[in-house]
Chains A and B, each alone.
Chain A
Amino acid sequence: MKFSYIIFAVLIVFTSCKKDFLDSKPKGKLSDELLNSPDGIEALCISAYAALAGPEGSDGTFLSPTTNWVYGDVRAETAYKGGGGIGDISEFNQFETFTAVYASNALLDRKWFSLYRSVQRANSAIRRLNAVTEAEVPLKNTRLGEMRLLRAHFFFELSRLFNKIPYFDENVDIADYPKISNVEFTRDQILEKIAAELGAAAAALPAKQPEAGRATKYAAKAYQAKVNLYRAYKQNPDNTVSGVDQALLNAVVAQCDEVISNGGYDLLQDFQQLSMGEFDNSVESVFAVQYSIADGTDLGRINWSNLLNTPRGPAYGGDGFFQPSQNLVNSYKTDSKGVPIPETYNNSNLMTVADGLATNVDPRLDFSVGRLGIRWKNYTAAPYGQDWVREPATYGYYSNKKALVSPESPYMVKGFPWGGSSLNFHIIRFADVLLWKAEALIELNREAEALPLINRVRNRAKNSKYVTAFNSSNPTDYAAKYNIDTYKPGENCIWTNSYARTALRFERKLELALEGERFFDLVRWGNADQILNTEYFAKEKLLRTYLQNAKFTRGQDEYFPIPQPQINFSGGLYKQNPGYGAQ
């Protein structure tokens, strides 16, 4: 039986001497060292840009949308959450009604994390860019400028959502992250740093980029103007506005001027073109999120933030979220001379086709809002109808129209995700720049200079091709009694400073409606309490029962709470925003 001893011994030796048997590297993955190559760095820069569309990709961007429709419009007087009843993503309902918004809200933590993921994508690229020479990466400085702009953008979003945020750059070692507090810098200091970063980015960036999606010098300048405008409205610790900084307003004017005179931008001819994929990266686009379709991904790098936001019904079959409010619709009323009526607009409701024909209406209404019986873009089978709405008993019959392309458009996905499209989303468009400058001028008591800027915006709306009545071949049969004009002091208005301020703020609502900016505007101006509680909820709840308990609380609801998990992870280093309990 010696034979079997030998076999046994051989087996023991054999099994124990295969050296790398227990060494099993990951398959199909990259290691850290492989990323320092020029190709690796370029791919890191791309992924930082991709974060503009949401770092989650197709899977979860709709729960932390980068287009700010929830944070900027549903929280403002311009839109409802919509969708399948208030229980359908109840977190958004809580944001909308400002009730039961707790630090434990999972979608807040998600948004916070989403933005820091984005910040870190930029940091990861910056760290590696810093470590290479221009010989290795010839576009090193340009890419650095781009990454700094992206990072500034993500921090700015964090700042206006959460206020007390940890601010840091690429040089902080990960081991020191637990020491980064969210109160090391005040809002002012953070905005100042962001503005400085944007200035540095502007210095590094070329005026034009060979690729349309890349940030340019003037994108950085424009963004700097925006941040400085936010900085100009100083806030007290309880979030109320304490005053407006004249020097910063002057900086806003100067920076906007540079963009306006040297950037080569203009307004598109027709307001409708803003909702057409054909006009992506147009003359009006200062900085935009680039979406694509049929691009090698499963369903396209389309605007996933909008996943829920298409009407149901024949044209889209969508989930019916993001429905404009009655308040917004009423805002588009004009007087007989074609100017808005900010004092009385909400005294009656503009609802039906007949209502629209009975009163004067800004034509932007029917570019922005789907109304029953009105033509829907190029869709020819039927006008926008009841069967386009999902839960009319709760949310009424309006649909967001502006962020969608026409169902006939080649920029739209067929099938799921319903109505998803590659229409770019503007982070900054030229009309916004004009209005920032106007706003700064008015706050500087130079309202006369603001007038032509506002009128330039109104003039484009005026000169757009208006929506025509459905089933009418006559191009002058409009869907409503459109009547819009520029402000003509002495003729249709008296252009005082206070009138100009109201006009500017109203113009932003009309022009930028449903683009995710309104709530931040209200907080910047310090009138969210008055607009939401007095003007909006008090009236709107008569139509929308679910708004019965809605109430904006001053000194609290200007910002979201710092997500509780983050406070915990920080070991208590992070402080909570005012109004949300433990400080």
Chain B
Amino acid sequence: MIGVGVLLKGTKSATSTNNQGQYALSVSGNDPILIISYLGYSTQEISIRNRTKIDIALEPNSENLDEVVVTGYQTQRKKDLTGAVSVVNMKDVANIPTGNIISTLQGRVPGVNVTNNGTPGGVGTGIGIRGVTTINNGTPLYVIDGVQTRDNIATLLNPNDVESIQILKDAASASIYGTQAANGVIIITTKKGKKDQLTVDFDAQLTTQSYHSGIKMLNAQQWGESYWTAYKNDGVKPNHDLYGNGDVPVIPEFIDQKKTIRSGDTDWADQVYKTAVLQSYNLTVAKGSKNGASAFSLNYFDQDGLVRYTNFTRINGRLNSDYNFLNNRLRIGQNLNLSKWNEKLKPAGIEELAIAQHPIIPVYDINGGYAGPTQGIGDKPNPVRLLDQIRDNRNQQWRIFGNMYLEAEPIKNLVLKTNYSINYRNGFGSSFEPKWREGDRSVDKNILNTASDYNQDWIWSNTANYTLIADKHNINVLAGIESKESINESLGAKRENFIIEALDYLYISAGDGAQTNAGIASRTATNSVFGKLNYAYNDRYLLSGTVRRDASSRFGKNNNAAVFPAVSAGWRVSEENFMKNQGLVSDLKIRASWGQNGNDLLDNEATYTKYSTNLNMGGYDIGGINRGTIPNGIIKDRTGNPNIKWEVTTQTNFGLDLAMLKSRMNLTVDYYVKKTDDMLIDRPYIGIIGEGGSMAYNGASLSNKGFEAILNWRDVIGKDFNYSVTLTATAYKNKVTAVPDDIYYTYGGGNGQDRTIVGQPLGSWLGFRTNGIYRTQEELNDGINKPGKGLGRIRYVDTNGDHLINDRDMEWLGSDQPKFIGGLNVALSYKAFDFSFFVNGMVRDAYNNSKFYTDFFQLWTGNHGTRLLEAWNPTTNFNSGIPALTAVNLNDEARTSEYFIENGSYLKLKNAQLGYTLPKAIADKVKLRNLRVYIQGQDLFTITNYTGADPEGLGYPYPLPRTFTFGFNFGF
């Protein structure tokens, strides 16, 4: 191995291995000892004992116990941690093409559920830590180089800048962030300059993305045949305005009476989605010296979406620097990220439209205008028109994100720090709706909308950190205060009637029609005090306590402060004497923690009763003048509740960290119980109160119990073959545990009578049980009274035994919350080649609402799925589970029922990568520090029984692309 460090113990005499793995070092002294070290391998001490040639075999050590982990306002050695903290293995996710680093984590970090869709830039990515913590906003807190934010990090962080990600999952780890911590905390540090090095790195990626998920839909002829079958099944002679009234459906030449729209056979998904390109280029220059270090990076990221014209481009510039003075007793530093991004958003609902639009409609009419629906084939707009309309929309944002700090160490081990962070975002958007004509629908006026807004957050934190090491005692105390303020303000204008629809003409002042404007603002502020005490005895017994008090402008004076305490303890069993002298267990730690957190993602103004003038809802033409200026009316918006208080999440965690077989195997297991009480809900209220009765109050409770584990095995076979296998597992159970009496049966989807969400997972479906379909007359004679039942129809279950099917038969049918999330990462390397792949999967139920289109001809006159071709038929398809085609919905089959519920589990080959790194010997010759080229693919295949578009994103998601990437990194 090349570059292994060899140091003569107790001296400064050192060398490293050459490109043949050889080394030479002159030694002297009494029993000299060599210290052999290499990153990622256990450091060894070898006694020389007069030998002149010493061959050394290194043992990999995936979990370096002295590794430092960034936690709240401080760093800790990993071996001292007593809470549940996951550290992301950045090597596994480096080079995955994405605008959002979080999007790569699904299945890789236990206890974390990442939801992805294909929205360019990764802005559609969401993350949930340990179940569903709250019915309110469940976004975790990001702390990037000490700057706290709840913003989507796709817009402020270049994935290439990320040095490390640690996820604080339990209350004890996160509680130093108090009211912001209930949803977990994700701490990200960015790359800094390294001491005494000047490095330049350049990375480039080119990725193609293709559309691969979707639902098979009928073509124009099949649609007509389905129509014929449906009407024949109903005993009615088929007759359709377009397909005629013959024995078989006939596609007409034109679908409109004016004969301007030729019948088509359009695959609308093909019109909406295209293969797209993603590119990313990154330059990092870092320099370190004795008195400081700096790193500068520049990134350009450009992702076209699968949906035509959608796009995300981002330019990021980052400068991180730090300087030290007075023998490192005074330190000054800053991290600054400037980003500018442009987003072109898809038209709302375009994914659903690609399924629902009728195939007989062509894209264009014979005059080149847009075609549209005519009679009997639905009334959805032409997706191509909608896409063309967004083409010139603008949505541009700037962000300044960063911090500066001053750190002093007046006496040894006492560090005082003041840190000021800022997160400023300014956005400008402009969208234009041109005049349009589509089939026989038209809009004869055009509208320009422009809007601008800014967000201005600052946080000022002041901390003192003192470490005392005395004998076997190691004490660390942290104390701090913090203030933060967030202000948001927006201004928008709208104008109608632009004579010329030329891009450069479309500015508000150029229009000459009606104009309206809008502006709104909001502000929130918090003051906090916090402290933390860590105590370790003899590296064996670990104890930690945290307390934070937050006072917020979101609550009334009487209730605006809350205190969040936490305690945790650890026992490093492997340090005990009885564990010495055995080769099996190299490290074993048992952990337990308890703590409370809050959630501050709540309405800024919930304590106030608010009224507003609202022309749209309260204006009235009292003078009967018909047009002009009408008087405005005042309506009540909300009722304030001055007594609301924080939501509180209480979490207990038990964990175990185990390293075995000389740290070849590492295992971390955690079990937790997390309860959220006093959740703020908007009170549904008795109707006679009228409008503005909505009032926030502390009402509901949730609980999550979960288990998570990560297992890693890492070894070397022979000299050159390294391999590593990582398995993660996540499981949790969520349920609602309390809801106020007056909404006990109403809240969360209850039936209002005798079915409550309490005891069920949040988001559970209340609906009818089904038992296949009626296939025989015998089955029909089951004595159940259900209007509309018949052969080929869904057989609803009479759950309460009254021989009637009505809303009293509805039961809880489950939820789509994951039951199990798993991941398997395998990384192999042989000499200069490396190969890795990652498989992830989920076990869960899914409510497939696209069955509305695919399975029920009677519910919708646009397109349907090819599943209809396999619908039940007494002679030709007796065993089919798809209800017979019908044109009338006598059986009311759109109702929420088990029929729509499917096994939504899946297994995906999420990522595979093959890389080649230029051997160091050659690299040195061409004066390169590093050169690696790679190809990789994402979302390569999926195993699932789900019949909707993609089990990873239920409903009508922005589809995830299948991607292939070519990329290289080089550094010197």
Contact = CB atoms under 8 A, between A and B. Distances in A.
Contacts of A113: 687
Interface string B740-769: 001111100001110000000000000000
B246 interface: no
Contacts of A35: 611, 634
B394 interface: no
A579 interface: no
Nearest to A277: B626
A94 B831 CA distance: 71
B611 to A, nearest CB: 4
Contact of A15 (B483, B620, B630, B685): B483
Nearest to A18: B483
Contact of B687 (A23, A116, A320): A116
Q: 8 nearest interchain CB pairs?
A: A120-B690, A47-B633, A212-B624, A415-B443, A1-B410, A57-B617, A317-B441, A292-B621
Contacts of B685: 569
Contact of B890 (A49, A546, A571): A546
Interface in B313-347: 329-330
Given A21-B483, A548-B890, A85 B635 contact: no
Contacts of A563: 687
B609 interface: yes
Contact of B686 (A277, A391, A569): A569
B444 A11 contact: no
B527 A24 contact: no
Contact of A571 (B406, B411, B742): B742
Interface stretch (A70-78, A172-180, A229-237): A172-180
B378 A26 contact: no
Tell me if B's interface is mostly helix, strand, loop or mixed.
loop
A4 B408 contact: yes
Given A178-B686, A565-B684, A43 B752 contact: no
B514 A294 contact: yes
A7 B418 CA distance: 9
Interface residues of A, number: 123
A152 B432 CA distance: 45
Contact of B257 (A34, A90, A385): A385
A292 B630 contact: yes
A214 B856 CA distance: 49
B440 A85 contact: no
B874 interface: no
A298 B516 CA distance: 8
Interface in A359-388: 385-387
B462 interface: yes
Residue among A21, A90, A294, A295 facing the most chain B CB atoms (10 A cut-off): A295
A5 B409 CA distance: 11
B226 to A, nearest CB: 13
A7 B410 CA distance: 13
B618 interface: yes
A79 interface: no
A414 B447 CA distance: 13
Contact of A117 (B614, B631, B690, B856): B690
A44 B416 contact: no
A319 to B, nearest CB: 6
Interface stretch (B154-162, B171-179, B236-244, B422-430): B236-244
B511 to A, nearest CB: 15
B943 interface: no
A100 interface: yes
Contacts, number: 351
Interface string A285-318: 0000011111111100100000000001110010
Interface string A161-193: 000001010000010011010000000000000
A4 B416 contact: yes
A292 B687 contact: no
B456 interface: no
A85 B858 contact: yes
B406 to A, nearest CB: 8
28 contacts: A8-B418, A15-B527, A24-B523, A27-B522, A29-B605, A46-B631, A46-B634, A50-B618, A55-B691, A57-B617, A57-B618, A87-B894, A117-B690, A118-B690, A120-B688, A121-B690, A177-B689, A211-B624, A281-B624, A292-B630, A387-B374, A391-B375, A392-B241, A414-B444, A415-B444, A422-B626, A549-B788, A565-B687
A391 B892 contact: no
Contacts of A44: 633-634
Contacts of A50: 617-620, 633
A12 interface: yes
Interface stretch (A101-109, A242-250, A329-337, A443-451): A101-109
Interface of A: 1-2, 4-5, 7-8, 11-12, 15-16, 21-32, 34-35, 40, 42-50, 52-53, 55-59, 84-87, 90, 93, 99-100, 102-104, 109, 112-113, 116-121, 123-124, 166, 168, 174, 177-178, 180, 211-214, 277, 280-281, 290-298, 301, 312-314, 317, 319-320, 385-387, 389-394, 411, 414-416, 418, 422, 424, 545-546, 548-549, 563-571, 581-582
A45 B619 CA distance: 10
Residue among B626, B744, B788 facing the most chain A CB atoms (10 A cut-off): B626
Contacts of A86: 858, 888-889
A546 B888 contact: yes
Residue among B378, B808, B856 facing the most chain A CB atoms (10 A cut-off): B378
Given A27-B521, A104-B751, A393-B239, A47 B618 contact: yes
Nearest to B889: A86
A99 B751 contact: no
Contacts of A102: 806-807
Contacts of A11: 418, 460, 462, 481
A393 B744 CA distance: 44
